[in-house]
Chain A
Amino acid sequence: DAKTTQPNSMESNEEEPVHLPCNHSTISGTDYIHWYRQLPSQGPEYVIHGLTSNVNNRMASLAIAEDRKSSTLILHRATLRDAAVYYCILRLTGSSNTGKLIFGQGTTLQVKP
């Protein structure tokens, strides 16, 4: 299974930007990079995904390194509601990988008021 490496935990101050790093050195050319987060007592929720180019949506931005071996999830202004476990996931293509998310340990983000 494709592996990602994330820091176990990070802290941020409210209203400040947060950069969550992820290493995925074994990524292959067709693997998509997805980010999900899990708030306390909830199921995971989708944040953003990309293949090669940087991506923006209303929740966050995803910056992908040119060699695609690492990526960074950017929360532009952290709020207390952003405190969660953030998972960086490689979505593999192919029939043996349909509907399958491989979760690592993720990064627990604490946001301080």
Chain B
Amino acid sequence: KAGVTQTPRYLIKTRGQQVTLSCSPISGHRSVSWYQQTPGQGLQFLFEYFSETQRNKGNFPGRFSGRQFSNSRSEMNVSTLELGDSALYLCASSGSGASTDTQYFGPGTRLTVL
């Protein structure tokens, strides 16, 4: 089975712009979670999607949004970029998102905001 893929791997944007990141989960997985990793805050949960519905959300401002398509692929969008949004964005997929499920992570998208 192919692993979780994320595109693009690297991205440079300027303040005020918006960005869309893409995640393709492992075939058959229906839950996709997104995380932000920064040196200061570590790994933080953004949100989780299952069957095209957002089921769970972390403590991030409304500038961070996402969606999931019928094939379980997911995108996350950050609008009005700020310098502090520079981070590694990771997505992870699992079968159902249950507490016994293993999450499989992609390699991440490195976003730099100038």
Q: Is the CB of A99 within 8 A of B100?
A: no
The reply to whether B33 and A99 form a contact with Cβ atoms under 8 Å apart is yes
Complex contacts, B90 vs chain A, CB 8 Å: 43-44
User: Measuring CB to CB, which residues of chain B are less than 8 angstroms from any residue of chain A?
Assistant: 4, 31-33, 35, 42-45, 48-50, 55-56, 58, 90, 92, 94, 96-100, 102-108
Q: B55 to nearest A CB, angstroms?
A: 5
- B91 — nearest CB in chain A belongs to which residue? A43
Measured CB to CB, the nearest residue on chain A to B93 is A99
Whether A99 lies near B42 (C-beta < 8 A) is: no
Q: How far is B49's CA from A49's CA once the two chains are assembled, in angstroms?
A: 23
- A103 and B98 CA atoms in complex are apart in Å by 17
Shortest Cβ-Cβ A-B pairs, 10 listed = A99-B48, A43-B105, A99-B97, A103-B43, A91-B99, A98-B97, A99-B33, A46-B102, A93-B99, A99-B31
- The count of A-to-B residue pairs whose CB atoms sit within 8 angstroms is 74
A80 at the interface (CB under 8 A from B): no
* 0 or 1 for each of A18-55: is its CB under 8 Å from B? (1 = yes): 00000000000011100010000011111001000000
| Contact present for B56 and A96 (CB under 8 Å) | yes
Interface residues of A (CB under 8 A from B): 30-32, 36, 42-46, 49, 87, 91-93, 95-106
Q: Would you give 12 A-B contacts (Cβ < 8 Å), ordered by A?
A: A32-B99, A32-B100, A44-B103, A45-B105, A87-B43, A93-B98, A99-B33, A99-B48, A99-B92, A100-B58, A103-B42, A104-B42
A93 to chain B: closest residue by CB: B99
- Point out which of A45, A91, A100, A103 has the most chain B C-beta atoms below 10 A from its C-beta: A100
A99 lies within 8 A of B103 (CB) = yes
